[in-house]
Structure formats: structure tokens, C-alpha cells
A and B are shown apart, each in its own frame.
Chain A
Amino acid sequence: KAGVTQTPRYLIKTRGQQVTLSCSPISGHRSVSWYQQTPGQGLQFLFEYFSETQRNKGNFPGRFSGRQFSNSRSEMNVSTLELGDSALYLCASSPSGYEKLFFGSGTQLSVL
């Protein structure tokens, strides 16, 4: 089975722009979670999607949003980018959200 795939691996944007990151979970996995990793704040939970519905949400502003498609692929969007949004964004999938999480290699976002 293919692992969790995140695209793109690297992204450079400027302040005020918006960005969309993609995550393809392992086949058969219906839960997709997103985490932000920064040197200052560490790893923080963004949100979880299951069967196209947001099931849990972390403490991030409304500029951070996501969605999940019927094939379980997920996207997260950040609007009006700020310098502090520069981070590694990690996606993780699992069959139902209650088992072992499988992580992707992340998307490194740099905001200039």
C-alpha cells in the first residue's frame, strides 16, 4: 500500500496570499488529521476530517480551513497568509481515527 502523500513538499508564498495543501491518505483510511509544526510552538493539532465532515478542530483562527472529498483526500487552506504561518504542515490518516496514525512527510510552507 502507498503511504500518506502530501503535496507539494515545499511552498513559498508572500504575505496576504492564500495557499492550499493536499493530503492523500492510505487507501481505505477515512480519517485525516492535520498538524502544524513550528520551532516556537511545536506540533499543534489543526483539525480532523472523517467521511467528509470536520469532526474535531484545534485552536487556530478561521483563516485555517479544510475539507475532505468523497475519496478521503483532504485539503487544507490558509487565507491571508502571515509570516507566522511559516511551518511544516503534517497530515496523518487512519481507518477511523481511533487507531494508529500514519503520517506523511509534510509540506514545508515559507511565507515571505
Chain B
Amino acid sequence: AQTVTQSQPEMSVQEAETVTLSCTYDTSESDYYLFWYKQPPSRQMILVIRQEAYKQQNATENRFSVNFQKAAKSFSLKISDSQLGDAAMYFCAYRSAAQGNKLVFGAGTILRVKS
């Protein structure tokens, strides 16, 4: 079964600084998607960024970028110029058509932003 591991239960970053959240996953499939979701106190899951496994280029969305290392099965999220609004729980997730497109989530990382 596919598993997603986030080894950092909690991270802190100073406002305007850069922080990297780690994620590793285990799969024998070659065709899959990886995601980072943000869950603020409102509880609504918000998609931050998405990476297709077949794409070698790392995805970027404004201040958010990923470092996708397919061979190492690593998918880290870098947040640049951190803002107070970035404070939330961040979840790494895996999805594949072979598994019926369900999302498999990691345990999450709480990100605190200090002003």
C-alpha cells in the first residue's frame, strides 16, 4: 500500500524567511500525482501545489515551490517570503488512478509563522 511520511510534526519560520517542509512516500507505481494541501483553522483543505510524477520539472506556484526527487521518493515544499497567513497545517498527499484516485495523506506538519 502507498504510504506518505511527514517527519516534521511542527516547524517555525520568521516572517519573510524561507522554510522547507519534508515529505517522503512509498509506491511501486510509476504514474501518480503528489500534492501539498494547506488546512488553516477554518478546517477547509486548500490545494497549494500539485506535481505530476511524469514531469521532471518542479512545480511552482508564486511563493510555493517543490523539490521532487522521484528516485528518492521525496517531495518537499519550499515557502519563500513567509507570511502570517501561511500559518496552518500542511499535508502532503499521494494519488494514483491505479488506486482509484483516492488521496493518501501524510500526518501533517504544523507551520507557525513568527512576526
Q: A residues touching B (Cβ–Cβ < 8 Å)?
A: 33, 35, 42-45, 48, 55-56, 58, 88, 90, 92, 97-98, 100-101, 103-106, 108
The interface centre, meaning the residue of A43, A103, A105 with most chain B CB atoms within 10 A of its CB, is A43
The prevalent SS among residues of B at the interface is loop
Which residues on the A side are within 8 Å of B100 (C-beta)? 48, 55-56
Supply 24 A–B pairs (Cβ within 8 Å), ascending by A. Answer: A33-B102, A42-B106, A42-B107, A42-B108, A43-B91, A43-B103, A43-B105, A45-B102, A48-B102, A55-B100, A56-B101, A58-B102, A88-B43, A90-B43, A97-B101, A98-B97, A100-B47, A101-B103, A103-B45, A103-B46, A105-B43, A105-B44, A106-B43, A106-B44
Asked if B50 is at the interface of the complex by the 8 Å CB criterion, the answer is yes
Which residues on the A side are within 8 Å of B46 (C-beta)? 103
Asked if B42 is at the interface of the complex by the 8 Å CB criterion, the answer is yes
Q: Which residue of B lies closest to A31 (CB)?
A: B101
Question: Provided the pairs A43-B91, A100-B50 are in contact, do residues A48 and B45 lie with their beta carbons within 8 angstroms?
Answer: no
